[in-house]
Structure 1
Amino acid sequence: MSTTQDLTPQESARLALQCLDLTSLNDADTEADIEALCRRAQSAHGPVAAVCVWPRFVALARRLLPAEIQVAAVANFPDGALDLPRALADVAAIAQAGGNEVDVVLPYKALMAGQGSEVAEFLAEVRHASRPLTLKVIIESGELATPELIAEATRLALMAGADFVKTSTGKSRVSATPAAAAVMLQEIAASGLSAAGFKASGGIRSVADAHGYLLQTRAKLGEGALNARRLRFGASGLLNDIEAVLAGQASAAPSRASSAY
């Protein structure tokens, strides 16, 4: 790997592949869609880190994938209601079906309404119920909109024991942005939690997009964070561009970087 400030496109592509949560969360997803997703997850250039699906497809994905590829599923998704029974039911379904990871939506509307203590209790209960699975907390940074709320949501997730703090569901108008990532990564670094990770999700379609988050993560968390234990990308279309770059072709997708939260 390059030791300079930048990474080559091939280095960025390979790192993005190793950290990719290949995702399909369409309302109309079928078993055939998930079978195709699992085939794509085992690319000619190597496996992705995980696939991310609805809870009802966890058992199918786990059966189709090798053990090295994790199976993640969403909980309390996508609206992030302050509905603990629903979230716990999702977590139980994921665990019972053989899932490895839970991506739960933080009740961001409740946080925006000043219900921080209720959100903290919600996250603590989800963390307790989800052990020993990997827990990623989606803060929906594009809806929180301000650096202060993004920072508060990140702190609440970390204090509850989240393994990763994730930007977005991919269902909101604004998804992952470098500006939101900067706030989240700063809070992760300041927490002193050496195992806590960051997941950029939503609107990431190119190696150029991933490249920026790789540099941000390295700057805040160090070179040792550029792996699937500390960094993930949640995307459905990014793999196409990764494969194009690793095959020696020009990137097929433009960067969608934005300075907005």
Structure 2
Amino acid sequence: MTDTGLLKGLIRCLDLTNLNDDCDSAALAELCKKAQTPHGNVAAVCIWPRFVNEAKKLLAGTGIKVVTVVNFPQGGEATLAVEEETRQALSDGADEIDLVMAYQALAEGRAGFAETQIVRIKRICGEKVLKVILETGALKTPELIRAASELALAAGADFLKTSTGKVAVNATLEAAEILLSVIADSGATKGFKPAGGMKSAADAVAYFEVAQRVRGDKVPDPDTFRLGASSVLNALIAAIEGREETRGTGY
């Protein structure tokens, strides 16, 4: 049986997510309510940019951060539009930005474009946390995943995030190990966020165990470790309370 202290720590590291196409104000309100659990609040809610202002009001006084996504999910190359999207999100009150890297440009050998886009978005974010989504399932090879990780850190990423949750292959333990190894090798205090595909408490624990083994994490710390998921929260609560766990569906 997994230690309940660890499970509660993982709840505090969760970016509770609704990036469904049909998300509306009612779904947002439910998400923000769900983010406040008897076993502690999640780190953040991760939502579409259009809901940032509304989420800030719903979460006022809770300490829960508001995260939004830009250049999502395609990781396109319209940098000026992404810059404007980022400025608007920050103006609306976003605490953190999750940027999809222009991973297709990187895969095509145009690493400079992908790097420059991250640099420009980080400049806008300033002291705000910038997580860079590498879309590791689309990059496929360990070599390209490592190259993307190194590039993102060099360009100013505060966190490396595996996936959008919108492609066929999202977070994997193999990709997680590569991202964490690059962070460890850099010597910098940077964060790691697996996202997409986590359904059970065991899934969440497995990612933290990789962080423990590769990077030496001692306890789950939301400043350096996040879990991007919509359905794993119920599983973590069930495990803490000793109830039968039902595997979730969704992001």
Q: TM-score, normalised by structure 1?
A: 0.91
Greater Cα shift, 220-229 or 179-188? 220-229
Shift of 1:87: 1.2
After superposition, residues 72-83 of structure 1 pair within 5 angstroms as 72-83=67-78
Q: Distance in 2 between matches of 1:223 and 1:56?
A: 35
Q: Distance in 2 between matches of 1:22 and 1:142?
A: 21
After superposition, residues 64-213 of structure 1 pair within 5 angstroms as 64-65=58-59, 66-193=61-188, 195-213=189-207
Q: Deviations over 1:48-99 (max 9, x none)?
A: 0000001110001111113511000000000001221121122111100011
Letter of the structure 1 residue corresponding to residue 97 of structure 2? V
Tell me if structure 1 keeps the 8 A contact 2:6–2:220.
no
Shift of 1:224: 4.3
Q: Distance in 2 between matches of 1:173 and 1:45?
A: 32
Tell me if structure 2 keeps the 8 A contact 1:16–1:207.
no
Paired residues in the alignment total 247
Q: Distance in 2 between matches of 1:217 and 1:73?
A: 24
Q: Does the residue aligned with 2:99 lie in a helix, a strand or coil?
A: strand
Q: Distance in 2 between matches of 1:134 and 1:214?
A: 21
Greater Cα shift, 163-172 or 245-254? 245-254
Shift of 1:9: 4.7
Q: Which runs of 5+ in 2 are unaligned?
A: none
Shift of 1:161: 1.4
Tell me if structure 2 keeps the 8 A contact 1:9–1:245.
no
Tell me if structure 2 keeps the 8 A contact 1:127–1:162.
yes
Q: Does the residue aligned with 1:114 lie in a helix, a strand or coil?
A: coil
State whether structure 2 residue 21 is matched by structure 1 residue 27. yes
Q: Distance in 2 between matches of 1:11 and 1:148?
A: 36
**Runs of at least 4 residues off by over 6 Å:** none
Shift of 1:35: 0.6
State whether structure 2 residue 46 is matched by structure 1 residue 47. no
Letter of the structure 1 residue corresponding to residue 85 of structure 2? D
Q: Deviations over 1:213-254 (max 9, x none)?
A: 111001122234621000000000011101101111133229
Instruction: Tell me what 1:14 maps to.
Output: 8
Tell me if structure 2 keeps the 8 A contact 1:12–1:210.
no
> 201, 214, 220: which one pairs with 2:214?
220
Q: Distance in 1 between matches of 2:138 and 2:3?
A: 31
Q: Which runs of 5+ in 1 are unaligned?
A: 1-6, 255-261
Q: Distance in 1 between matches of 2:149 and 2:219?
A: 18
In percent, how many aligned pairs have the same letter?
A: 40
Q: Distance in 1 between matches of 2:150 and 2:219?
A: 19
Q: Distance in 1 between matches of 2:162 and 2:178?
A: 11
Q: Distance in 2 between matches of 1:76 and 1:185?
A: 24
Instruction: Tell me what 1:245 maps to.
Output: 239
Shift of 1:14: 1.3
Letter of the structure 1 residue corresponding to residue 241 of structure 2? A
Tell me if structure 2 keeps the 8 A contact 1:52–1:72.
yes
Q: TM-score, normalised by structure 2?
A: 0.95
Greater Cα shift, 174-183 or 245-254? 245-254
Tell me if structure 1 keeps the 8 A contact 2:161–2:192.
yes
Tell me if structure 2 keeps the 8 A contact 1:182–1:216.
yes
